Amino acid sequence: MWWEQAVIYQVYVRSFQDTNGDGVGDLPGVTQRLGHIAELGVQAVWLSPIYPSPNADFGYDVSDFRSVDPAFGTLEDLDALVSRAGQLGLKVLLDFVPCHTSIEHPWFREHPDYYVWADAPNNWRAAFGGSSWGRDERSGRYFLHSFFPEQADLNWRNPDVREQMTAAMRFWVDRGIDGFRLDALDRLMKDSALRDDPPATHPPELPGDPQDLELDHVHSRNAPDIGDALQAIRHAVGDVLLVGEVYLPIAEAVAYLAALDVVFNFEEIFAVRDAAKLRQAVDTGIRAGGQGWVLSNHDFSRLVTRAGPENARAVALLLLSLPGPVFMFQGDELGFGDAPMAGPEQDRNHRDPFRAPMVWDNDADHGGFSTAPPWLTPTHPPAAGAVQQAQDPTSVLTFTRRAMAVRSRLAANETSLLPSEPGTIALRRGDHVVAVNLTDVPAPAPAAAGTLVLEARPGDGADLSVIPAHGGWIAL
Ligand code: NOJ
Ligand code: CA
């Protein structure tokens, strides 16, 4: 399948390229910049949600699943994007949000039976904190919101909901979409009896809101009939790529692969500061299969900040050498770290620093992102511009392009993890050896034949008998 060793580039549309001078990125902007994406050597683009949205959660609160938010353009703009992508050999994925709708979606008034209701709240907590129940003033009843209060959870046990939602997905497949990133799937099915969650008795496997983590989410997510819902989706869309955002440890997320192709490996995302944990996540993930490796995304601290600037290239080199699809977030190729925002109103729900506008050209107004002040304004650009980095042999962009070229040669190779010193990770892919060191002292390298293929930083591969501090290489 085309996606098995693909690199998939995530575009956060609002922050990619503005073409009409309103400071907000749009679909014509994505189309205009597809050349940059294709030149990286990736196989596909995933667009963050493009549907009409009141933007309580920037597109993840959808008010119409079958059209395009006017701020981003029109359906015709999307068709043009898909067609240009096809010319460049790029597939296009949409982000689909099956778990909830905006409370401004007409369904919320016209079809209350599409949602999950209770006469009184149980103890469930929302992923972003607080109770997951909102009071509906008209009826006096409570609706479930696993995320923000403006995002009402759909009841996927209602056949009409399944029909509406799967028909919406088919609508996009018929328009030429090659797959979907499916949002928040672990929250799609909840206990039908709405039983309270018990208190947490063990430390969480994945980080979360402190209030939410006081409870063990045995009832508020991942109900046993999730498999039926996923099969309904699969049946409706055919064999397009389905990537699940399943916020569960690998051991539980793999069950979703019965209907999906790929699940994100969240353990990896949170392990990048610790070589032992990262090695463990890679090992478990490779054994499990179906893992999507993530450099960064729009929800968590960027790789450069999460791994630490000193280790970011080594971690990127490792992740880009792994079997299975890799997800690169816009700006990763330029070495974006988290970008502090100018004012508090510019840091909605603490994720804005990961969503800073692209920096295309240091010499252009607003980095070439827009002719107007951008919707988000970091205190300083998160990296040098793409134009400047393209001319610099030592830049992150140059490194990323090289790593992509090397990755294409690794694709068919078997993978095995090699024993290595603490703080280091080494693996073999066919005749290639990949070695990275996340400590500040050089470490002895596993046997490598001696031909350097790629170095994390210039000079890292000067002596292949060592893995340099905070560095790494791929050798033959
Ligand atoms: C996961 C998305 O990636 C995130 O941005 C969003 O806030 C939640 N799901 C709720 O849809
Ligand atoms: Ca715009």
Q: How confident is the model at residue 411 (pLDDT cuts 50, 70, 90)?
A: confident
DSSP class of residue 13? G
**Residue 183 beta carbon below 6 angstroms from any ligand 1 atom:** yes
- What pLDDT score was predicted for residue 347? 57
- What pLDDT score was predicted for residue 143? 98
Provide DSSP, 246-309: --S-HHHHGGGGGT-SEEE-HHHHTTTT-HHHHHHHHHHHHHH--EEEES--SSS--HHHHH-T
C-beta separation of 393 from 44 below 8 A: no
C-beta separation of 218 from 198 below 8 A: yes
**The token pair that represents 301 in the structure block:** 């601290």
Tell whether the model's pLDDT for residue 195 goes beyond 60.
yes
- What pLDDT score was predicted for residue 273? 96
First vs last Cα of the chain: how many Å apart? 27
Nearest CA to ligand 1 atom 11: 60
Where helices occur in 303-411 by DSSP H, the ranges are 303-307, 312-319, 386-390, 396-410
| 415: nearest Cα among 393, 402, 389, 433 | 433
Q: How confident is the model at residue 341 (pLDDT cuts 50, 70, 90)?
A: confident
245 is catalytic: yes
**Residue 264 beta carbon below 6 angstroms from any ligand 1 atom:** no
Q: Which ligand is nearest to the CA of 300?
A: 1
**The token pair that represents 410 in the structure block:** 């690794």
**Distant-in-sequence, close-in-space partners of 203: CB < 8 Å, separation ≥ 6:** none
Cα(73)–Cα(221) distance, rounded to whole angstroms?
Answer: 35
**Residue 143 beta carbon below 6 angstroms from any ligand 1 atom:** no
Arithmetic mean of pLDDT, 62-75: 98
Cα(192)–Cα(389) distance, rounded to whole angstroms?
Answer: 53
**Active-site residue, selected from the candidate residues 18, 61, 183, 197:** 183
Tell whether the model's pLDDT for residue 344 goes beyond 70.
no
Cα(172)–Cα(182) distance, rounded to whole angstroms?
Answer: 13
**The token pair that represents 76 in the structure block:** 């015709």
CA 71 – ligand 2 centroid, Å: 6
**Active-site residue, selected from the candidate residues 69, 245, 333, 352:** 245
Tell whether the model's pLDDT for residue 272 goes beyond 80.
yes
Residue 30, SS3 per DSSP: helix
CA 58 – ligand 2 centroid, Å: 15
Tell whether the model's pLDDT for residue 349 goes beyond 70.
no
For 124-171, what is each residue's pLDDT tens digit? 999 998 999 999 999 999 999 999 999 999 999 999 999 999 999 999
Q: How confident is the model at residue 412 (pLDDT cuts 50, 70, 90)?
A: confident
CA 237 – ligand 1 centroid, Å: 22
CA 153 – ligand 1 centroid, Å: 13
**Residue 184 beta carbon below 6 angstroms from any ligand 1 atom:** yes
Tell whether the model's pLDDT for residue 348 goes beyond 70.
no
Residue 21, SS3 per DSSP: coil
**The token pair that represents 171 in the structure block:** 């609508």
Q: Which ligand is nearest to the CA of 16?
A: 2
Whether the full predicted model's pTM is greater than 0.95, yes or no, is yes
Out of 183, 245, 351, give the residue to mutate to test ligand 1, the one with the largest number of ligand atoms within 8 Å of its CB.
Answer: 183
